[in-house]
Chains A and B, each alone.
Chain A
Amino acid sequence: MTTKQTFLGVNVPKPRVAFFELSSCEGCQLQILNNEATLLDFLSMVEIVTFREGMTEKSDEYDVAFVEGCITRKDEEQRLLTIRKNAGLVVALGSCACFGGVNQLKNRFNDLNWVKKEVYGDHPIDTQEAKPISTLIDVDLEIYGCPIKKEEVEDIVVNLILGKSIDHPKYPVCMECKAKSNICLFDLGEPCLGPITRAGCDAWCPSSRLGCWGCRGPAPEANIKQLLHICNEREIPMERVMDRLECFGGFSESIEQLRRTEGR
């Protein structure tokens, strides 16, 4: 991922930053407030001009827009287009914005009418298939994770300000996990998407003895066949692997393929 804008070099020391949310749990925005130890330093590096969840003031003039959440309604498309017009740089914040996130789980039924009826009965309600923001606008930078890792966001913002390029790791979560000498979940008979998921979270879940659910999407060098082979060998039910692969939308292409071959 490269940034198209270079004006955020050293001569623009305090970028005007705005936060927006579409359909989401607002957790990724909250993660930024959740870094109490460095929050005040972080706030002194940028000028936050819009952050509805935290402040009353707002402005349409900003350099960087962080957009959390995915598109599920027409009015969100309109808001997103306006944000793109106003912002120099649009950053997709979290897996909802990058891939649809958990919200895209409703798409798997291929039947929006059933989905609506299941929740609202006959009361009319407006919704569309959940879509990542890149389906509508150009996105300059994607920050993965459900939730995002706050330290990673701060690093990224520092690099943006210094005009440095931002590189996501190409290796999978497994590398980070092995470096931490964690017990491997497969040895405990649990599925883990660590071998195919993009690193950057420092093996957050396996370090707490929970298999990776793939929230950051596929690593560029992901070998899904190999993973399925390991799971097969360890007699881990295919359903549990599919649950993880389809949870956040990052693996949507592989899941389509798998559904066809598995007949699910």
Chain B
Amino acid sequence: MKLSCDIDVKHLTRVEGHGNIKITIKNGKVQEARWEVVETPRFFEAMLVGKNFENAPYICGRICGICSIGHTLAAIRTVENGFGMKPSAQTAKLRLLLKHMETLQSHILHVYFLAAPDFLGVGSVLPLVKSHPDVVQRALRLKLLANDICDEVGGRRMHPTRTVVGGFTMLPDKYALGQFKSRLKNCLGDLVASAELFKTFVFPEFERETEFVALKGEGDYPFIDGDLISTDGICKAEYDYLTMTNEYMDEYSTSKLSKLSRKSFAVGALARFNNNYDFLEQTAKDIAEMLDLRPVNHNPFMNNVAQVVECVHVVLDSIRLIDELLGTEYGPERQEVTPKAGLGVGAVEVPRGILYHCLEFDAEGRIKRADCVIPTSQNHANIFHDIEDLARFCVEQGKTDKETELLAEMLVRAYDPCISCSVH
């Protein structure tokens, strides 16, 4: 058994934003083991105060470059819920399609460019360009397809331009949608190959039992719309999000933290998988089986695998959505918006987990107060406690300093944290 070590990772790489890992082990005892978020806060909730509702999606999208579509859609849902509006079936389908393609591009970016290098023993995707050209090309192909569809539906792959309160400024070209449908069908082979690649990776046998929070599926694997549930049996209405998030601050981080039934909980692909497995497309379930992922799974490293499984699901569901869109005449692209005083809450499953926006409006639709609760901040406490347990796990397993450091880094990366987002 290894007795002492001192790990101090400042500004962990291959994650979005700035965080540190600190682990001190003395004489076989873990003295301290923690995850700190040192990102600079940008104060979006204050920025929004006094602004007219039309600014909310536009500004909130800038909380995060990776999930700008998710933030934009969450803010739109919040405004529409606040004003008592319901999107048309067409708008709902287009938004879900856009959401799916953000999920695909974000998951592919994460599993291939950020997570895979650890499993292949390299420091970044760059050496893989030479050693595994087919793998890199495959990742780029999948990402390109997702981004191309985001361009067509949202106007732009990042900080979308067509998504507004009430609907869209412009609808996607139907011919283009038809083309995308065949590209989506063709990419299934690439997704199976991705799953086969992940099958070759060795995942640490580390588990820590925790609570998983997600939207509740009603017939579909949920991304937009639904109650809030947890694997500990909690179920609340979207409007009651504060009872799910319970934010607090600690001395180490500029990010807030959350808890529910236990000292921490997790959100994200694995949490969605654990809560809503039944609603996955059969092929996605088959891929999960092939990768030994079954609900409820408590190994945080398996979030990578859950992302691969979700990629399959969103591609199949996107094909269905495009079929439905092509099968009906387009209705109007947007509806009239009539502001109303009151409170709106919008919960949306973004790539890294459930995201909440809440806005309070005056009668003209000006924002009086804003609150955003980000998936990564909900995960922070869970990461923190995982790191503690992982340090003990490494002591027991007699891991070297280098191995311990790498495992701790891989653990944080598995959550695909979006740190600048969490400290918005």
Contact = CB atoms under 8 A, between A and B. Distances in A.
Interface stretch (A80-88, A115-123, A224-232, A255-263): A115-123
A102 interface: yes
A37 interface: yes
A33 B109 contact: yes
A247 B59 contact: yes
Contact of A43 (B126, B147, B420): B126
Contact of B65 (A28, A48, A51, A205): A28
Contact of A106 (B15, B46, B249): B46
A21 B64 CA distance: 13
A57 interface: yes
B123 A243 contact: no
B162 A209 contact: yes
30 contacts: A21-B420, A25-B63, A25-B421, A26-B16, A26-B420, A31-B65, A34-B147, A48-B126, A52-B11, A52-B13, A54-B13, A55-B126, A58-B13, A72-B40, A73-B40, A102-B42, A105-B47, A106-B42, A120-B249, A125-B254, A127-B40, A127-B43, A146-B62, A146-B159, A204-B156, A209-B170, A210-B162, A210-B169, A213-B58, A240-B54
Given A23-B40, A105-B59, A147-B65, A53 B45 contact: no
B140 to A, nearest CB: 4
A115 B17 CA distance: 22
Contact of A118 (B49, B55, B421): B49
Given A22-B40, A105-B47, A106-B43, 10 more contacts: A26-B420, A28-B65, A29-B65, A31-B158, A34-B157, A36-B141, A55-B125, A102-B44, A102-B62, A208-B155
A115 B46 contact: yes
B144 A36 contact: yes
A1 interface: no
A197 interface: no
Interface string A141-175: 00000110000000000000000000000000000
A120 B421 CA distance: 15
Interface string B105-134: 000010001100100000111100100000
Contact of B13 (A39, A48, A55): A55
Interface in B49-96: 49, 51-52, 54-55, 58-59, 62-66, 68
Nearest to B61: A25
Contacts of B157: 34
A12 interface: no
A125 B43 CA distance: 11
Nearest to B113: A54
Contacts of B123: 55-57
B52 A53 contact: no
B25 to A, nearest CB: 23
Given A36-B140, A36-B144, A240-B52, A118 B124 contact: no
Contacts of B141: 36
Given A146-B62, A210-B155, A26 B17 contact: yes
Nearest to B157: A34
Q: Which 10 A-B pairs have the closest CB atoms?
A: A27-B65, A55-B124, A208-B155, A56-B123, A36-B144, A209-B169, A105-B47, A208-B161, A118-B46, A36-B140
- Greatest chain A CB density within 10 A among B43, B49, B55, B156 is at B43
A101 interface: yes
Interface of A: 21-31, 33-34, 36-37, 39-40, 43, 48, 51-58, 72-73, 76, 101-103, 105-106, 109, 114-116, 118-120, 123, 125, 127, 130, 146-147, 204-205, 208-210, 213, 239-240, 243, 247
B164 A210 contact: yes
A9 B133 CA distance: 30
Contacts of B143: 34, 36
Nearest to A31: B158
Contacts of A123: 249
Contacts of A72: 40-42
Given A24-B420, A243-B51, A210 B161 contact: yes
B144 A56 contact: no
A147 B66 contact: no
A120 B41 CA distance: 10
A118 B372 CA distance: 12
B40 A25 contact: no
A23 B40 CA distance: 6
A118 B68 CA distance: 23
Nearest to B63: A25
Contacts of A204: 156, 161
B223 to A, nearest CB: 21
A3 B178 CA distance: 46
